[in-house]
Amino acid sequence: MRHGDKIKNLGRTASHRAALLSNLTCQLIEHKRIITTLAKAKSLRVYAEPLITRGKTDSMHNRRVVFSYLQDKEAIKELFGVIGDKVANRPGGYTRIIKLPRRMGDAADMAMIELVDFNEIYKNEAKESAKKTRRSRKPAAAKTAAPAAPANETPATDAAPEAPAAEGTEENNA
């Protein structure tokens, strides 16, 4: 029975599990998005988010604490540099898990885990849709104002299309 056992063991010993989660976190920090099994992604979220929270405040103590978990200098630089600046205003929820189709070989549930602030697809769609609505309102106001000004020119433009139409009818009669 597993009453009160809250840790996901992932079928590994404690040292193997710590190494796995450390490596997955380093890869997530480096690549901003990784594909793994759903169980590993859920465990990785619990492991990585407190480290990303530490990455928001760049101090020697926070760097040493994160280094004790990750053991990768390049990941530490990336975390306290690029990622820390980008998530500084976010109060949590730095990762997103998206379920993928099952793996062909063993039908394991697969998932993609990514850093939320680094996904350009969702950001661009939101910005473009907002811009489209704004653009559609401004030209509509300009179009209503534009025909009012050249109202005097309207008879002159109406006369021009009648002349070619008349020529076309004369050619048909001849």
10-residue block means of pLDDT along the chain (174 residues)?
A: 87 96 96 96 96 96 97 95 93 95 96 91 60 57 56 52 53 55
Helix (H, G, I), strand (E, B) or coil at 153: coil
- Amino acid 2: pLDDT: 78
Q: What tokens appear for 59 in the block?
A: 């101090």
User: How much is the pLDDT for 120?
Assistant: 77
Superfamily of domain 14-118: Ribosomal protein L17 (3.90.1030.10)
Residues contacting residue 48 through CB under 8 Å, at least 6 positions apart: 21, 24, 25, 28, 29, 94, 95
Sorted by where each begins, the domain ranges of the chain are 14-118, 124-173
pLDDT score at 149: 54
Structure tokens at 12: 């590994």
Confidence (pTM):
0.68
Rg of the Cα trace of the chain? 30
> Phi-psi bin for 111: left (phi > 0), alpha (psi -120 to 50), beta?
beta
Per the structure block, which two tokens stand in for 36? 């793994």
Residue 111 tokens, joined:
């998932």
pLDDT at position 85 is 93
Q: Which residues have C-beta within 8 Å of that of residue 66, sequence separation ≥ 6? A: 51, 54, 55, 76, 79, 80
User: CA distances (Å), 29 to each of 74, 88, 95, 137, 147, in order?
Assistant: 9, 15, 11, 41, 56
